[in-house]
A and B are shown apart, each in its own frame.
Chain A
């Protein structure tokens, strides 16, 4: 296989000089360029998503108060500077959609799967460069459609990111369920096509294009994570596509898949025999695996970065792979825990409680393995390492409350309250974002040939870390006090007045945390041109991507692809002069490869 890859790559290399601006920077088929395209698009979407969250946080803290920022950004949706209730729901909806799909799925997985799979397994490029390019451009198109939907006259989709029908199906139920929702669905359909093309490419590449000596048990954990993520994506995204298509049918062609017996605005609609609960099943059959699609790549990146910066092998390599597999398997049979009070049979609720709580076991194994990895290490506190430690911290804090939400009996009273918001933001929002930041700080030199400024990185991390806890920790308590999420204002419920001051504190932390991202954006964009030049292997890492030339070339390596002789975690191995032994260094005479 690798011989074939070699000849293929030499062909590529021959064409290298014929590249034009368009084939190099726009319609590029090079995985490294596509990775950067994903990252920059994801970053832009991320900025939009975060600004939206700050807007609705301000509304929650200071309800119905005029604000010049609202007036400037929301236009007709903020008459006299007071945010409208419809646009509040739209902001919540689009914030969720953008962050989950466009930033933490495409931005995270798209960037790092593309960058690292070929470089770390020793391949010239993805199995299909063309499909890879199509995948990115479909993602770009879906981003454009989603952004356009913000400017529709009746407002963007506003039924929550879960778009449960009938609310999302009936334009008379809500302004945003007209053209805004149509565009949302079209955008998601394109997004899913993009995601599937990407995932298939990742799977095929990992299975077929590994260099000589790179057995599956020598793969870095990043690759294992990307690989399994792609498998989950291929299994679950088509189900969301079917849900979206059926919803489009109900909305535009008069079918009744999800709708039945509806009387709204003085008239009975013709729908009969459908069930919104069916939509919930289809949605969460993707929706729950989706959180693992988001978190697994982050886990992979963090495992790799922690080992490198601890100068120690990752602890429990086999257990780490086993837990990824266990999580992937369980992730497809737990979706019903989002539906304990949906009206489905309570017996099903029991089954889903059981499977859901089981997921805590592989998650605990991973957390303890990370902690043991840094034990007795020689920790290099690079910004990437700080974000990785931060990841483990928020993953534990957020993950633990999962044993409350996964327990159907307890879910009755905290379902859809701020407790849920706190839980998932910590465990998959903030954690995945930390994983992404860690990856960016770590592989930035590999992407741009320059280093990010580490001091700005430290400021970025510490302020973000404090604010993340400041925002989401107190939120658990408002949730336990019974406050429902997605409320435009709580002023109609004096019952919750005693927690209203908490909302002000949360918003202040959110504003500071949002503002400090400017430091990161500055660092990112300015360093592309003015950052300090990198050395070949700045983090003294063992994996193959650091053996490729700093300047990007088509085909990744001049000459032959390096062969692999050992696993990727030979840090501080006794009997070597350096505290790391790259994977392409043959075993010394008499040296044994670790039995793993």
Chain B
């Protein structure tokens, strides 16, 4: 039935186009002229020239609307890590440059298309080359890009270089289809040896720790990631099955988890979850989200389904590399807290040696 309806609709569309073509042809036959069929006339040139200006306006409007509606930069809220502001600054500088170049070049392109729309008998300028102009638009991008490259590389090296002398707390992020685990190194701050070949589900050795390794004994495995504020954290990432990516957007942090190797990323959290919730920017964002959720809930209730829960802000760790069917729901809550709270929480967790089932 649906197939039949679709075919009927398609046939009607084709007939409509056919009729439209006939109307165009009749209208043009009336205006007459010696033009070649299918080639633009002065009238076409003029109409499309004006449309070019209209299109320029459209590009500007969509830019402005997007910026006003969704452009409260940085969109994710202010960063919650030490290196975050350097990324945000670089991002904003890049966006400003892009915005400027975009506005100017789109104007030139569309304005010229309008201004020089063709007319019969008009003579175009024979202008084939100009080394000075070519030099200008080679050198200006070179200078701008040189600045961006230097700034960018500086930032990159600072972020990726892990300074072991800062005494970072070492945490393993362990990925599997479709959830995350965190492993704390315990009192010795050294992660025990591990390999997926050592996984023993019956003994609850789910991450494949080497049971004989003394460093592994005090390791702590959790399903929530807690971080102390102000202390450098060095993440060691592992995956047991396919590629995953540990994406922590609020900390401006991301690294892939690759089966067969250990990758790493380090940062220092600067805002506890509670502090982040208390910022005005986050309050506004959460209020807005909850308004949307209330609105959506109305529809759900009308359909006899449950209403959506109220949203409260939490940091999240998201999987950001396609990893299979439930990729869209692979997440772990992150809690940033003061060091004492963190230590208290950690003390409550079971050490590896006590979590094994004999």
Measuring CB to CB, which residues of chain A are less than 8 angstroms from any residue of chain B?
Answer: 68-69, 71-72, 85-86, 89, 159-160, 164-167, 170, 173-175, 259-264, 266, 268, 273-277, 310-319, 341-343, 346, 349-350, 353-354, 357-358, 360-361, 364-365, 367-372, 374-382, 385-386, 389, 392-393, 396-397, 400-401, 403-404, 407-410, 412-413, 415-417, 445, 451-456, 458, 462, 465-466, 469-470, 473-474, 476-478, 480-482, 484, 486-490, 492-495, 497-502, 518-519, 522, 526, 531-535, 538-539, 569, 571-574, 579, 594, 596
Q: Are A353 and B87 in contact (CB under 8 A)?
A: no
Which residues on the B side are within 8 Å of A490 (C-beta)? 328
Bound Cα distance from A400 to B95, whole angstroms: 9
Q: Are B152 and A353 in contact (CB under 8 A)?
A: yes
Minimum CB–CB distance for B108 against chain A, Å:
5
Q: Are A579 and B323 in contact (CB under 8 A)?
A: no
Closest 5 CB pairs of A and B: A451-B38, A260-B260, A343-B263, A532-B37, A346-B160
Contact of B241 among A166, A368, A499 (CB under 8 A): A166
Contact of B109 among A165, A314, A393 (CB under 8 A): A393
Cβ contacts B33-46/A at 8 Å (1 or 0 each): 00011111000110
Q: Which of B40, B112, B118 has the most CB of A within 10 A?
A: B40
Cβ contacts B72-114/A at 8 Å (1 or 0 each): 0111100000000011001100110110011001101110110
Q: Are A594 and B128 in contact (CB under 8 A)?
A: yes
Interface status of B199 (Cβ within 8 A of chain A):
yes
Q: Are B289 and A498 in contact (CB under 8 A)?
A: yes
Q: Are A276 and B98 in contact (CB under 8 A)?
A: no
Q: Are B152 and A572 in contact (CB under 8 A)?
A: no
Q: Are A454 and B40 in contact (CB under 8 A)?
A: yes
Q: Are A378 and B116 in contact (CB under 8 A)?
A: yes
Interface residues of B in 230-288 (CB under 8 A from A): 237, 240-243, 245, 247, 249, 252-256, 258-261, 263, 285, 288
Q: Are B199 and A263 in contact (CB under 8 A)?
A: yes
Minimum CB–CB distance for A194 against chain B, Å:
28
Which residues on the A side are within 8 Å of B105 (C-beta)? 367-368, 371, 396
Bound Cα distance from A233 to B38, whole angstroms: 36
Cβ contacts B58-74/A at 8 Å (1 or 0 each): 11001100100011011
Minimum CB–CB distance for A282 against chain B, Å:
15
Which residues on the A side are within 8 Å of B217 (C-beta)? none
- B45 and chain A: residue at smallest CB distance: A381
Which residues on the A side are within 8 Å of B240 (C-beta)? 261-264
Contact of A262 among B71, B142, B259, B309 (CB under 8 A): B259
Q: Are A346 and B156 in contact (CB under 8 A)?
A: yes
Q: Are A350 and B156 in contact (CB under 8 A)?
A: yes
Contact of B134 among A365, A379, A386, A458 (CB under 8 A): A365
Cβ contacts B310-336/A at 8 Å (1 or 0 each): 010100101111111111110100000
Apart from the given pairs A389-B113, A407-B149, 14 other A-B contacts in the complex at a CB distance below 8 Å: A273-B260, A276-B258, A311-B118, A316-B133, A342-B258, A377-B116, A378-B123, A416-B320, A453-B38, A465-B55, A469-B58, A484-B247, A495-B289, A572-B123
Interface status of B187 (Cβ within 8 A of chain A):
no
Check A341/B116 contact, CB under 8 A, given A410-B90, A493-B316: no
Bound Cα distance from A407 to B63, whole angstroms: 23
Q: Are A519 and B249 in contact (CB under 8 A)?
A: no
Interface residues of B in 2-53 (CB under 8 A from A): 2-3, 6, 10, 13-14, 17-18, 20-21, 24, 36-40, 44-45, 47-49, 51-52
Minimum CB–CB distance for A257 against chain B, Å:
12
Q: Are B45 and A365 in contact (CB under 8 A)?
A: no
Minimum CB–CB distance for A220 against chain B, Å:
14
Minimum CB–CB distance for A193 against chain B, Å:
28
Q: Are B328 and A167 in contact (CB under 8 A)?
A: no
Interface status of B168 (Cβ within 8 A of chain A):
no
Bound Cα distance from A385 to B74, whole angstroms: 39
Interface status of B344 (Cβ within 8 A of chain A):
no
Which residues on the A side are within 8 Å of B125 (C-beta)? 312, 375-377, 572
Bound Cα distance from A464 to B110, whole angstroms: 17
Q: Are A357 and B145 in contact (CB under 8 A)?
A: yes
Which residues on the A side are within 8 Å of B242 (C-beta)? 165-167, 170, 173, 264
Which residues on the B side are within 8 Å of A454 (C-beta)? 38-40, 44
Check A316/B129 contact, CB under 8 A, given A357-B148, A415-B254: yes
Cβ contacts B150-161/A at 8 Å (1 or 0 each): 001101110111
